[in-house]
């Protein structure tokens, strides 16, 4: 390992190519000091030959194996030169690199990003313990409060009411699991005198195709959906009416409008295609209830889930669980956001910050200003080493504007003092009565925010914005 540092110190930046929003740094090595290595040694050695930057982060890297045996890439880290801190990491799926092979590693959008302007470098680690580095490069950190609204909004304005969107993206069109499209959306509607959840799909995120009826298999008066997609699939994990031998690829958490002041206000189901749902059932309280039903509690009732994060490698202890749900809590007036933890997505343990045996909110109204009394719903993304929350808020209701907050752990949040990002008083006609429900998704071209607007005539529609 001692020979790596002098070798890496000889890596030179030779080309910078700029094309639109993409910058490619290409590196080379003159291999001074290569006599440190005997040709007979069996040594996998990785070097980073180029780094492609796109928008606000690393899009891809090219690495080469200079050793004599096959190496397996374990992790890519992005590190700040200023203080040596790791600002993001990426774990590719099982990736072997043969001796002499040059391999391109495509980084998932927003996995390696700059939290602020600065110089960074990459560290590539193999499962054998060998390390490769890139030369330093500069990244401009973007302000996650700066968004550009699409001039053609709204993008989804069907004959039914459309609001509370949940949008997911897959560059491969979800591998044929249901409708083949890059973008899929589930949204709330009010149709035939009841709340229901509908489905739409798109290949560009702008022109949407509406499924011809509400999705099936969910409870009556359903709304406020949040959907996760599992590309590898999972078996129907709970008792119920799963079709025999059918693999499930989608899970949904949603609000049951009939059960406001019990934990049954939040329900769960699973699906092979995102349209036909099975094993519909209410979620359950764990040791620390997420919803209490007690009139003195901030979480007496709930208007449903906000979003659910999934970490398959979690330990299911402390605050590290496979499922983390951000959800609404209300005593009947103000609304706050809480967090629940679960190993199966069904039974949830509330986040107890002060150890008194009761769940605590992680985001509340500011007591003054645009979000004085209400915060909900939200989207939480982990981008690099930070968590970002995009949330609705208001004084008289949770539908007056959209802001964002940042966190190191997803539990203690700091709101951006420049909030709100958007507000109903912006003077935009399609959303001048309500502007709310941000659903933020990582797409190939960066972050997109889909959100609800209601105009002065009471028309509910969905538009979107792009991060600058």
Last residue of a domain, one of 139, 169, 190: 139
Are residues 173 and 269 located together in one domain of the fold? yes
User: Which candidate, 188, 171, 190, 255, places its Cα nearest to that of 451?
Assistant: 188
Q: Report the chain's mean pLDDT, rounded to a whole number.
A: 88
Are residues 170 and 282 located together in one domain of the fold? yes
Please report which confidence band the pLDDT of residue 22 belongs to, taking 50, 70 and 90 as the band edges: low
Last residue of a domain, one of 139, 155, 172: 139
Which tops the pLDDT comparison, 417 or 468?
Answer: 417
pLDDT digit string, tens, across residues 361-370:
999 999 889 9
Does residue 45 carry a pLDDT above 60? yes
Q: Domains in the chain: how many in total?
A: 2
Q: Yes or no: say if 440 and 446 are a contact pair by the CB < 8 Å rule.
A: no
* Percent of residues, the chain, with pLDDT higher than 70: 89
Bridge partners (DSSP) of residue 103 are 63
User: Which candidate, 291, 288, 322, places its Cα nearest to that of 308?
Assistant: 322
Does residue 307 carry a pLDDT above 70? yes
Are residues 291 and 361 located together in one domain of the fold? yes
Output the domain CATH number for residue 432: 2.115.10.20
Provide the pLDDT for residue 133. 86
Are residues 418 and 321 located together in one domain of the fold? yes
pTM for this predicted structure = 0.83
Give the domain range for residue 132: 4-139
Alpha carbon distance 57, 62 (integer Å): 15
175: left (phi over 0), alpha (psi -120 to 50) or beta: left
The mean per-residue pLDDT over the stretch 347-357 comes to 96
pLDDT digit string, tens, across residues 180-200:
999 999 999 988 888 999 999
Q: What is the CA radius of gyration of the chain?
A: 24
Provide the pLDDT for residue 225. 98
Alpha carbon distance 319, 313 (integer Å): 13
Are residues 337 and 297 located together in one domain of the fold? yes
pLDDT digit string, tens, across residues 54-91:
767 888 999 999 888 899 999 999 999 988 888 888 98
Bridge partners (DSSP) of residue 121 are 79
pLDDT digit string, tens, across residues 340-349:
999 999 999 9
Q: Yes or no: say if 462 and 450 are a contact pair by the CB < 8 Å rule.
A: yes
CA geometry: angle 385, 328, 281, nearest 5 deg: 105
Alpha carbon distance 85, 276 (integer Å): 45
Output the domain CATH number for residue 68: 2.60.40
Are residues 356 and 411 located together in one domain of the fold? yes
pLDDT digit string, tens, across residues 29-39:
433 223 333 33
User: Which candidate, 118, 123, 107, places its Cα nearest to that of 58?
Assistant: 107
CA geometry: angle 224, 225, 227, nearest 5 deg: 160
Are residues 193 and 325 located together in one domain of the fold? yes
User: Which candidate, 308, 309, 365, places its Cα nearest to that of 336?
Assistant: 365
Are residues 133 and 171 located together in one domain of the fold? no
Are residues 225 and 327 located together in one domain of the fold? yes
Last residue of a domain, one of 120, 139, 158: 139
Lowest mean pLDDT among 104-113, 142-151, 255-264: 104-113
- Residue 17, classified by CB atoms within 10 Å of its CB into exposed (0-12), middle (13-18) or buried (19+), is exposed
Are residues 338 and 449 located together in one domain of the fold? yes
Q: Yes or no: say if 25 and 16 are a contact pair by the CB < 8 Å rule.
A: yes
Are residues 200 and 346 located together in one domain of the fold? yes
Are residues 309 and 164 located together in one domain of the fold? yes
* Alpha carbon distances (Å) from 432 to 127, 245, 367: 54, 49, 23
The mean per-residue pLDDT over the stretch 309-323 comes to 94
């Amino acid at each position: 390992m001692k020979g790596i540092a002098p070798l890496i110190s000889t890596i030179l930046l030779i080309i910078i190519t700029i094309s639109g929003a993409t910058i490619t740094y290409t590196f080379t090595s003159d291999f001074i000091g290569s006599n440190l290595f005997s040709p007979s040694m069996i040594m996998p050695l990785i070097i980073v030959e180029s780094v492609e930057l796109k928008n606000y982060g690393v899009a891809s890297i090219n690495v080469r194996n200079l050793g004599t045996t096959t190496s397996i890439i374990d992790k890519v880290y992005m590190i700040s030169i200023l203080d040596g801190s790791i600002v993001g990491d990426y774990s590719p799926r099982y990736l072997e690199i043969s001796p002499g092979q040059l391999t391109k590693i495509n980084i998932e959008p927003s996995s390696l990003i700059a939290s602020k302007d600065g110089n960074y470098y990459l560290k590539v680690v193999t499962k054998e313990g060998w390390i490769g580095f890139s030369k330093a490069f500069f990244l401009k950190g973007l302000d996650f409060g700066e968004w550009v609204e699409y001039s053609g909004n709204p993008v989804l304005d069907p004959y039914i009411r459309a609001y509370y969107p949940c949008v997911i993206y897959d560059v491969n069109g979800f591998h044929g699991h249901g409708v083949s499209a890059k973008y899929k959306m589930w949204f709330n509607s009010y149709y035939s005198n009841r709340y229901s959840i509908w489905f739409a799909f798109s290949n560009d995120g702008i022109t949407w195709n509406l499924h011809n009826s509400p999705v099936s298999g969910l409870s009556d008066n359903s709304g406020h959906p949040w959907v996760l997609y599992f590309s590898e699939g999972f078996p129907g994990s709970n008792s119920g009416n799963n079709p025999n031998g059918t693999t499930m690829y989608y899970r949904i958490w949603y609000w049951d409008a009939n059960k406001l002041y019990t934990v049954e206000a939040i329900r769960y189901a699973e699906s092979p295609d995102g349209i036909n749902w099975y094993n519909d059932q209410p979620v359950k309280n764990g040791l620390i209830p997420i919803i209490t039903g007690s009139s003195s509690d901030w979480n007496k009732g709930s208007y449903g889930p906000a979003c659910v994060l999934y970490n398959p490698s979690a330990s299911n202890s402390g605050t590290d669980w496979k499922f983390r749900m951000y959800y609404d809590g209300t005593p009947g007036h103000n609304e706050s956001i809480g967090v629940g933890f679960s190993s199966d997505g069904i039974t949830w343990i509330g986040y107890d910050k002060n150890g008194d045996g009761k769940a605590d909110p992680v985001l509340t109204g500011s007591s003054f200003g645009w979000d004085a009394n209400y915060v909900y719903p939200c989207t939480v993304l982990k981008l690099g080493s930070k968590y970002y929350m995009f949330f609705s808020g208001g004084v008289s209701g949770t539908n007056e504007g959209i802001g964002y907050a940042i966190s190191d752990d997803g539990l203690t949040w700091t709101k951006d003092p420049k909030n709100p990002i958007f507000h109903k008083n912006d003077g935009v006609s399609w959303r001048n009565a309500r502007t709310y429900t941000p659903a933020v998704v990582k797409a190939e071209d960066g972050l997109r925010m889909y959100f609800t607007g209601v105009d002065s005539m009471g028309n509910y529609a969905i538009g979107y914005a792009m991060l600058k």
